[in-house]
Structure 1
């Protein structure tokens, strides 16, 4: 049997063949169907008095965990505990949904110290990036 590697593919074909019918089915089988429990996506935003979005947080849940995917606050609004409040809200939503742990990744030039102040601990580190930049994985028991 001959296999050829291609660098072009219809995005939907890739999603259906590789992500859904490949990796997702494999992961569901290997986790006894618990991979997608609770399977919720959260998005929360912070607005100023004018109604403008000044920050937000999003994450998704699986295997009774919350993965914090994005947390950001406009520079002009930092130092007002908005990020802390956003993180607290999404963690509470995850706890209510049955999650037991939260995890995320952040670069050394982003916010590892912020997350540590919120109770997260570094459980992984990747180095080798330019300018001594590091990628951290952090976790927190909820």
Structure 2
């Protein structure tokens, strides 16, 4: 579906946009954010849990920017859960963030995942979106490092 506005600008619905279209949006927003908030100094934080054969059993993916650690993903396969690996991944990510000068961390999770893990790790809930998904909530946590 395409909507053409009076000035000739078109709004185009595209279920599979080309890479360059997506990159233009990302680039534009990043440029605006950095012009307003300062340089990102974005650096990834990637920690993997692997078995003896090198198979990935989980890990933590995040990044540091503007003095914050953002933890995007933290997942462990069932066979290595409950052994303290999640806490160790988090401890290591926070140490990397501190080395990079970060003073805070944040993440989001769902109420059916492990909000208690974050609370036990010193994170405090600062936001909640009930009904995301139905019967559950999306929950945001932060921690001063």
On whether the aligned pair clears a TM of 0.5, the verdict is: yes
For 1:66, the equivalent position in structure 2 comes to: 69
Residue deviations 1:93-130, cap 9 Å, x none?
Answer: 01101111110000001111101000000000001234
Whole-angstrom CA distance in 1 between matches of 2:100 and 2:83: 28
When Rg is computed on C-alpha atoms for both structures, the one with the higher figure is 2
1:30 equivalent in alignment to 2:36: yes
Pick aligned residue for 1:114 from 114, 117, 126: 117
- Normalising by structure 1, we get a TM-score of 0.89
Question: What stretches of structure 1 move > 6 A for 4+ residues in a row?
Answer: none
- The alpha carbon displacement at 1:78 in A equals 1.0
Q: Which 5+ residue runs of structure 1 have no aligned equivalent? A: none
2:10 — aligned with what? 4
Alignment partner for residue 95 of structure 1, among 91, 94, 98? Answer: 98
Q: How many corresponding residue pairs?
A: 137
2:77 and 2:113 mapped to 1: Cα distance? Answer: 13
SS at match of 1:70: strand
Q: Partner of 1:81 in structure 2?
A: 84
The C-alpha deviation readout for 1:69-108, integer Å capped at 9, x for no partner, is 1111111211100000011111100110111111000000
* CA root-mean-square deviation: 1.4
Normalised TM-score (structure 2): 0.87
Distance across 1 between alignment mates of 2:76 and 2:120: 17
After superposition, the Cα gap between the structure-2 partners of 1:130 and 1:87, relative to the gap in structure 1 and judged at 3 Å, is closer
1:19 aligns with 2:22: no
Asked whether the equivalents of residues 55 and 83 of structure 1 are also in contact (C-alpha less than 8 Å), the reply is no
Give the CA deviation at 1:48: 3.0
Over 3 Å counting, the alpha-carbon distance change for 1:130 and 1:6 in structure 2 is same
Higher strand share: 2
